[in-house]
Amino acid sequence: MTSMQHEPIQVSSIVYLSRTTRPFGPDDVVELADRAAEANELHGVTGYLTYSEPHFTQYIEGPETELLAVWDRIQNDARHKIVQSVGLGLAERRFKDWAMTLIDPMWHSAAGSIEAIHELLSAADNGMGPSSEIASSLRNLVSEVSVSS
């Protein structure tokens, strides 16, 4: 007899690197992440955010329509400017319990992966490497961040 298996829920995902357009203190970052989490919770969007002056990297995942609405808000926020973004396509949800978790890139156990994501997005901005390979590496790195969150 086969047991009932839950189909993994497929979501779309985006990872990006941005640069702040104004100073951000630690409290500002916490407040931003709290607000993002509240908004995301309403829309079934999950992910993580890191800040390392003057850059944010953020990973967001969710049902496509909701994800694109959130992405629109992120892009239109004048407090930062997107340096590079990569759509990672359909995936299983990786941050099931995190509407938006703020990760300290220095102290996180996947600090190396977070750093590698930043480096890859910076390199992609310089037009290095085929985008399909970059997306595949980014997918693996985001998985490493999620399992150690």
Ligand X SMILES: Cc1cc2nc3c(=O)[nH]c(=O)nc-3n(C[C@H](O)[C@H](O)[C@H](O)COP(=O)(O)O)c2cc1C
CB of 93 to ligand X, least distance (A): 15
Residue 70: CB minimum distance to ligand X, A:
4
* Closer residue to ligand X, CB minimum distance, 14 or 134: 14
**Nearer CB in complex with ligand X: 67/138:** 67
What residues line the site for ligand X (CB under 6 A)?
Answer: 18, 32, 35-36, 39-40, 49, 56, 58, 60, 70, 73-74, 77, 79-80, 100
Least separation in angstroms between CB 104 and ligand X:
15
Please say which residue, 1 or 57, places its beta carbon nearer to ligand X.
Answer: 57
Tokens standing for 60?
Answer: 């967001």
Nearest to 75 by CA among 89, 48, 53, 56: 56
Cα separations (Å) of 9 from 6, 59, 61, 92? 9, 17, 11, 6
Where do the H-state alpha helices sit in 44-109? 64-75
Nearest distance from C-beta of residue 4 to ligand X, angstroms: 33
Q: Which residues lie across from 55 on neighbouring strands?
A: 19, 52
- Strands of the sheet with 55-62, listed across from one edge: 80-92, 10-20, 55-62, 46-52, 101-103
Supply 72's token pair: 């629109």
Question: 11 or 32, CB closer to ligand X?
Answer: 32
The smaller minimum CB distance to ligand X, of residues 35 and 96, is found at 35
- Least distance (Å) from ligand X to the CB of residue 144? 21
